[in-house]
Structure 1
């Protein structure tokens, strides 16, 4: 009897199966990301590994941040600011204020702020990536009677942990949190580098220009 390669590992003969050697999956992050995106897009329905291996590094999974993650969230905030400006952010007062705010709000029972993070696989207690968001209360209108909307900010990844899909996982989890709260509209400010990710998640450019006024102290 002829047996197809699909049937050998126990899948139906018409299943769309991508078979990877364990020395590929888990060792090369480009393959990890491409495989996960292919499964999400229904290009393939299964991805078995052909053999067991002890050196597979599982892709990080996003989890809800707690007050205990405050210092690491601030560290990643500094990583983001340095990447955007080309120089390290100075001062410790803003770091302390940010950490205090996160500790106070992340563990509130009905908080209007949430952060989702991926842990670093190589440093226990350290974060690889994060996405922070809050619920903004505005005056309601015809398209949004309640006047609530979401704002995403501080999407950051450690430089040596990029291109692994971590930011996508964090932002996706944050959008799920917004959906659970009944938030229908979410805003963010996208860099040129980050825009493809946000577009792939459904974000579009708005016609409103961003403006800012710095008031004197």
Structure 2
């Protein structure tokens, strides 16, 4: 009886003592800091202090900066996690895949692309970066322009059997035309995910299809005007 009572008391004491938390590995701690930083910067912008960030994470600033040399280094890690790692290497290949009609390529691309960028963290980080003068926007612009939009200019020429970019270099007006098309689709996500105004619903497939159709149908006339303007110059 005494032995059973002692055993019961021992079990009760053991249950009252909280289990020791497993210590995180350096890789796990670094990943945690990046995750929390994404949440913090998407809420407060990149001007938010690292003191407040460390407090939110539940670590000290010195510990945080054992994993990142500076705030800029941490922002680079956030850029890599949110923008670079979510970039699909198949997107540029799809844009240039001439075994498919260009319209189908664009529908497939945007259905895939918008699933990545149309979320609160992505959009708010993108907007805050522009407001704060952080390099993220310019870096992302270069990636998007070089890998998607400039190739799309070339594919429009090919689709309508117009002069190649070798014969007549892609004009600034052509690139602006493609940027305007892309920006019109993109801005739906800005309104819904970043600002939470006027648009609280997903971009419908019908609207996406109509937008792509209007762009493609107007493209030969637009490109003709842009290239003619180059010749006159």
TM norm structure 2: 0.21
Normalised by the size of structure 1, how large is the TM-score? 0.22
Is the helix fraction higher in 1 or 2?
A: 2
Q: Which has the higher strand share?
A: 1
